[in-house]
Chain A
């Protein structure tokens, strides 16, 4: 009862201690809980725990300090040992106990709300031992600080405890030791974090931002005192308007005691904000590069299917574009992606604007303007060729067939479904043959699955003919296109096959060397093949350099074979690819390569505003699956463990900021009594109330500048040193590099904000003291 009455009698100090305790317990409890639910190391809460311990220690010690007189009186009344210690610690311990209970409740509520908002559906929170342990540690550390401060007070001289006039206290060895520990700890943890890297982060590394902030705060505090001491010796510092301010800044630590916690909170906030922005920008870029466009339809039937489906569903080229991405078949990180550059600007447009691959569009202008790939559609093939000629000999006076001169062609193509197919002319059984002129016959055959666009891959001649009487193919129509009229058809007969093909008058003349050594269908040779083995245009990343095959740079083509490329430019990052790979013209690469090697990620990309009719038409082709959107990919990326970790870090920074604010308020509140006395003393010797208020405003300004400058420097350094060492993203093998450069647009407002908070708290707390502290209050009966 006595304790409760005592708490009430010092309700201002009790309230700030209670609020700080509640906040630290809630923050640690919630952080650990969120970390557990997100499968993150609970060590991430260590930074908040450290700041919380520092803030609670300062407030608990201050609470004990206020009660030095009571402790002295208790000693005078004969209390000793545990009874004396209990009478000294009872009040702050009860406050901490209630604060711990309240903090657990608040942390529970916050975790519940946050889990529902940010974690996957179905994740429910029930506290486990790590959360209870976190709350217990905060309480235990708070009690330990209180006990130590009280124990120390009991050993002070009775005069120090009971005298009304406060004596200055020299920095103790223990405090100096702790300050040195903070400085050394900051250096060690930063080194440890940088050495360990994001994949091996531990609690020591996670402490580094908070320790760095505290260390910079201590340095700022010392620097400010030194500068104030120097200023006091100058003429300006000796003028009446700066006289009190400079002396206060270098002689009294109380006004600047909040610097370390405030700067540490600002540093934590700077690191968290930079981490969040950097990681989220990376996620957006990565999601864009991964999805490729606002909408992405997966295609299972190969690159040609995607190509033809996109052109079939969107002949205008405004909405759809095909793409195929291939991992490195050697197990490396070199990716190659085939895209349709003629549709890039229309379909992808400024989707990559602002990303690392934002400048890619104009580089694609270096690709050929027209497509090399010619697809055909139709349902039949036909050939006009010499009729079979039969050479006979008499056997028992009966002529029997000895040799047959004939010509046949097998046409290989990739159909609508991405399947390699072939058709023979004349078909087996010589069906569908009809006369086509003197000595000529027309053969026809059905062509299947060539409705949206097929691509020829190879023509093979099969047959035999004597040189004196070669066979002729005068017409070869594939889906309505006469291949013999195409300039791209070129005989490519290996000399050892003994097959000769001659192009003459729009026809092919074919004979074989060893006609008489064969019976029947003797020789086979290619008379036309695609691809033509021309280099295809490619944009590559700067590293690594492409391999050279036969003196030419090459990559693995769509079908997995070596494909010579003509590099039109190099860039740091490519869409789909990341930082290592090549972007290749699919229109060239597909020529004669209709089959797609396994492991490909083939898609049809669509603009966000693609009309429903175009989408329906695309879906109707039957080759595309359920689309993925950029937003869905980004959302998925934001659910990753690393994203939750960064979010948790923001959460912790928010708690640290509120804690710093409470600490600043508590520190200011502690000083009000002394300031009133000081102001009254100054007024009694002739200083005006306005002048005293100005002095306090200058002090607030000096503190604000110190906090802002130190926060800016420390925030910049922390981001530069630590962002790369924190596990912010899952970059993976093909990942973009995370941009860990400090963002001044975030650091400056946070630093200025911290300074403004200090200035506002000090200004508000001491605003009226000059006017309200009349010299008449300096009476013994009012002290």
Chain B
């Protein structure tokens, strides 16, 4: 069966629709409750995991390194659950890292602007005009966050299979549309799409291990072959390669580990100035 990934401009709206879709389709619903498992598995504070999912790096907030590490943990646990199928996934940024998996239906739910304004007014205890400004700021922040973390603008409609505006479509109709759409043959799992998801899951497990030591790694998997890209100075290249091969090679299902080390031109430039 398929996977439904729901993203929304409002966490509350996205959650409500996700729960209804899961109920109507007979799927499990996976939301931020999963962060408890992530927190326990990786000993990462739940509050910081949420912050990694919501805010771009800043002086007062998480550093890029920590945010990427927490996101790697979240991805790893989310991907392993998504292998189970028949799941509606919301609130875990899966729309930004489940790419190219044909049995994953990606849906963007746009809240009714009036509802969004009244929610913001009540939540922040501000006047309507201020609430509108806060919503605009939040949207810009989300854009900044998604580009910083995944190099994608989550507001971009082309990233989704289906975009539904609740200002035009009633929530129950939206739910029905999502359930009907996932029933199309094109969203049925096939050998290829299941392999794509398994490859992502394995890459996710390797990334979560490697990123504790090497924050710049990029990991891909193809079957049991894992390809790791990283940066290093020439003198550190061999040492880093060996360390990555050792760490990744110990992970279940990993066969061959290919490490591609690129020149760390920034560090090289810094060192040559000394």
- A and B are partners in one complex rather than unrelated chains: no
